[in-house]
Structure 1
């Protein structure tokens, strides 16, 4: 029995060592595999994120272009309206000038006629 105990302890230690070594190698392989798979998954996620980011940028650019076109159209409309308002104002001013000149002329003609009548009456008397 004395010889059996040390042999048994030796075999148990050797078996424990083998099992421990195999377990560590297995865990190391799983970690490496997990990292590789993780990197693949991560790169897939990064690719998807990048694609979504680019799509969002393109959508934003299209919206910006549409907004700029709308602003340009609004500015053109405002310019046309301003031009029309200025033309209308100029036309109104012209009409007012013509009306004012017409009234002045009529007033002067009336004054001339009154002066002629006064002169004619003075001559008649």
Structure 2
């Protein structure tokens, strides 16, 4: 029996070692597989994120371009309105000047008539 106990212990230790090694190899394969699948999924997620980011940038660029066009249009409208107002102001100023000239001419005509009337009255 003395010989059987050490053989039994040796076989038990060898079996335990084999089982432990197989378990560790299986765990490594699962980790490697998990990492590969994880990298593939990560790669797909990164691609999707990159596409979304590029789409967002393009959308933002289009919005910026539209905003610039709107601002340019508003500036042109403001300039055009300013020019119209200036033209109207000039027209009003011209009308005022013309009106003043007419009043002055009318007053001068009235003064001349009054002078003529006074001159005629003095002559008689």
The normalised TM-score by structure 1 is: 0.80
| Displacement of 1:43 | 0.7
Question: How many residues end up aligned between the 2 structures?
Answer: 124
Q: Give the CA deviation at 1:2.
A: 2.1
- Report matched runs for 1:13-92 at 5 Å: 13-78=13-78, 80-92=79-91
Q: CA deviation at 1:97?
A: 3.6
Offset at residue 121 of structure 1 (A): 4.3
Q: Distance in 1 between matches of 2:86 and 2:60?
A: 40
State the 1:66 CA deviation: 1.3
In the alignment, the residues of structure 2 paired with residue 121 and residue 41 of structure 1 have an alpha-carbon distance, to the nearest angstrom, of 116
C-alpha deviation, 1:118, in angstroms: 4.9
Report the RMSD for the aligned CA atoms in angstroms. 2.3
**Runs (5+) with no aligned partner, structure 2:** none
Instruction: Give me the whole-angstrom Cα distance separating, in 1, the residues matched to 2:82 and 2:56.
Output: 40
Whole-Å Cα distance in 2 between the matches of residues 91 and 115 of structure 1? 35
Q: CA deviation at 1:106?
A: 3.3
Cα distance in 2 between the residues matched to 1:87 and 1:64? 32
